[in-house]
Amino acid sequence: MSDIDSIAGLEAILGKAPPAVSLKVIDHVDATARRWLAASPLMFAGFGEACAMTITLGGGEPGFATADAATLRVPRTALDDPALAVAGASFGALFLVPGIGETLRINGRVARVADDSVQVAVEECYVHCAKALIRSGFWTAAPNDAAPATPEAFAAAAAFMALATMDAGGAADLSPKGDPAGAMTHIEGDQLWFADRPGNRRTDSFRNLIVQPHVAAALLIPGSPHVAIVRGAAMLTDDETARATFAVQGKVPLLATRVDDLNVIIRPSAALARARLWPSAAAPADIKPAKMFAEHVRLNKDKGLGARIAGAFVSVPGLMQRGLDKDYKDNLY
């Protein structure tokens, strides 16, 4: 088995992240992101301290989380595990909006924990591509209160995962993963495995776990109010046999990830229940992820040549949406 233990080894397989992918990242919560929060009933939140990563869910009525430009506020009562949020911890979050495949990612650091809210100083805000939710069939699922009782069965049935990692400097990141049930995760003995699939090519989580392997993840079965919380130490591999078990549509992923020192807890999520995701509501007509991508490129403080070229590209009406549609169709696996 060939483990990948360096950034150079990772880039030899996946290539370097294109500089343009960072142009969609802004350092504040703009008006388009605040509109996203107003429509979101569910978040995944990862917290990092020292070498420990934890993850929980938050949920409620759409708009339960609010923000101004610099600060995100989440009610403590909205979190399944409010004790995980402590001042000084790094923070990474995914916010979902019913009917929309893209996710909003907000990263930063917990600045203050009051009796009623967690306040996060925002460092990054951007929209993530829709491939994970598309592959998982997330918004087409029917409600189902049942859940497998064992970690092995839950992993086999899961189709969506929020993966929390942390870089060498302690900054947390939360990445969405999705695949058809049976192709996303499986447990062999005391190890959990999952595959790499095409995404936005930032490869943040893989770069992070090379330098800091402790991870946390939330596994979901779309339609179910139950969640499996996973913690362990991750390692990337390009082992052919390991990768072949994740083939979909005849395509084998370039990498697989093994999680050792595995701990899995299956439980109902009060946040998921409050979010009432399924059956899915129609997507809000005024939230357009392609326009958000374009707006965030415009707001990015990088004004170099690459940024100017990207700005010109996204300024053409409809061009960003056509590009996303083609990517989602042609590069899903």
Give 10-residue mean pLDDT values along the chain (333 residues): 86 79 89 98 96 95 98 98 97 98 98 96 96 97 94 98 95 95 95 85 84 96 98 95 93 94 97 98 94 87 60 63 86 87
What's the pLDDT at 51?
Answer: 81
What is the C-alpha separation between 258 and 103, in angstroms, rounded? 25
What's the pLDDT at 314?
Answer: 61
Contacts with 304 (C-beta within 8 Å, 6 or more apart), sequence order: none
Q: What is the CATH number of the domain that holds 280?
A: 2.30.110.10
What's the pLDDT at 315?
Answer: 65
What is the C-alpha separation between 273 and 157, in angstroms, rounded? 19
Beta bridge pairs of residue 256? 195, 237
What's the pLDDT at 156?
Answer: 97
Name which of 99, 105, 39, 98 is nearest 66 in CA terms: 39
What's the pLDDT at 310?
Answer: 59
What is the C-alpha separation between 214 and 201, in angstroms, rounded? 22
Beta bridge pairs of residue 153? none
The token pair that represents 310 in the structure block: 């990207």
Q: In a 10 Å sphere around its CB, with 0-12 CB exposed, 13-18 middle and 19+ buried, how is residue 9 labelled?
A: middle
β-pair type (191-195, 214-220):
unpaired
End-to-end CA separation in angstroms for the chain: 23
Residue 215 sits at φ, ψ, to 5 deg, of -130, 165
The token pair that represents 293 in the structure block: 């991508």
pTM of the model: 0.94
What's the pLDDT at 29?
Answer: 98
What is the C-alpha separation between 66 and 51, in angstroms, rounded? 29
What's the pLDDT at 262?
Answer: 97
The number of distinct structural domains making up the chain is: 1
What is the C-alpha separation between 13 and 4, in angstroms, rounded? 10
Domain holding 84, by residue range, is 3-330
What is the C-alpha R_g of the chain? Answer: 19
What's the pLDDT at 306?
Answer: 57
Q: In a 10 Å sphere around its CB, with 0-12 CB exposed, 13-18 middle and 19+ buried, how is residue 11 labelled?
A: middle
What is the C-alpha separation between 201 and 22, in angstroms, rounded? 10
Contacts with 175 (C-beta within 8 Å, 6 or more apart), sequence order: 128, 162, 163, 165, 199, 204, 205
